[in-house]
Amino acid sequence: MEFETHCDTEAEAEVPKEPPKIHRLEESVVNRIAAGEVIQRPVSAVKELVENSLDAHSSSINVVVKDGGLKLIQVSDDGHGIRYDDLAILCERHTTSKLSTFEDLQSIKSMGFRGEALASMTYVAHVTVSTITKGQLHGYRVSYRDGVMEHEPKPCAAVKGTQIMVENLFYNMTARRKTLQNSSNDFSNIEDLLKRFSIHHISVNFSLRKHGASGADLHTVGTSSRLDAIRSVYGVSVARTLIKIETSDNNPSSSVFKMNGFISDSNYVAKKITMVLFINGMYYCAYLKCSVLLWSIRIYHNEFIRCTVIL
């Protein structure tokens, strides 16, 4: 016996006969999508802000967070500050003080140069900047939304440098915010990030505390010794097992590659490998879990090395 069945679904009935029309997305939609790619988590925003502070030649960087950074991220530094005339375009996309021509990329030494980070934050959070430059009698404070100033800069009391407050991160991205409800994990990620910055930028003081707390969860003091910086962050048990490593091209006069750092010996035992990697002064974190370098070290040392620090 044969049965003939017909399963014409509603979806099949609605298949368009013509290809869908291509249209331009509204600029606000484009900017919000781009912002979500640049600023993926609170730690992404902290990384961008701290790198800006380092580019401003700061010797002290203080970070305050609330609810893992979703409610508040505040980064204060004692760098050179921001010119009053630059505040109007500070948070526009692709505005930067790091380069002017494409050729500048060949010799650029700053950590950021595309001019996207601050702009991205203004599309997914409320951003307020307070800054003062050398020689000014007072500072200026201004708030930003969607890349532009919400009002003219207002005079304010300020200490040397810049303070940037990022409030209510992802307030307009409900789905993203729901996936970031574990504030303890986000705080731990931020703390780990600052520890890694502190052992590369050894002359800079870093501090991190939760909003409302009387004491800092992390406080590092600038030093002239990288090994001392590692010891203060990862402890004596790690520092005592480290071996200094250095290598470069064979011809120093034409060298385009130079690497130096520390690697632990087989006496140190831990549950997982820890790698801290900076390339041309920039911290790389997104690729470490599956990096070829990490797996090469594991294979070569037959799993004996449990802690690796490369700078």
78-93 mean pLDDT: 92
Stronger pLDDT, 39 or 248, i.e. the higher one: 39
Composition of the chain by helix, strand, coil, percent to 5: 35, 20, 45
180-185 mean pLDDT: 78
Structural domains of the chain, ranges and CATH numbers in brackets: 27-220 (3.30.565.10), 230-310 (3.30.230.10)
Give Cα separations from 122 to 40, 115, 132 (angstroms): 14, 13, 21
Q: Rounded to the nearest 5°, which phi and psi values hold at 75?
A: -120, 120
Q: What is the average pLDDT score of the chain?
A: 81
6-25 mean pLDDT: 68
E-strand stretches of 87-169: 126-132, 139-145, 148-149, 154-156, 161-167
289 — pLDDT class (breaks 50, 70, 90): very low
- Given a cut of 60, whether residue 9 has pLDDT beyond it is no
Tokens of 269: 């035992």
143-167 mean pLDDT: 94
246 — pLDDT class (breaks 50, 70, 90): confident
- Judged by average pLDDT, the poorest of 165-169, 245-249, 267-271 is 267-271
- Judged by average pLDDT, the poorest of 11-25, 189-203, 219-233 is 11-25
Say which residues have a Cβ less than 8 Å from residue 189's Cβ, sequence separation at least 6. Answer: 41, 42, 43
Assign 212 to helix, strand or coil. Answer: coil
Stronger pLDDT, 5 or 186, i.e. the higher one: 186
104 — pLDDT class (breaks 50, 70, 90): low
pTM: 0.81
Assign 161 to helix, strand or coil. Answer: strand
Whole-angstrom distance, CA of residue 72 vs CA of residue 134: 28
pLDDT the model gives residue 209? 95
109 — pLDDT class (breaks 50, 70, 90): low
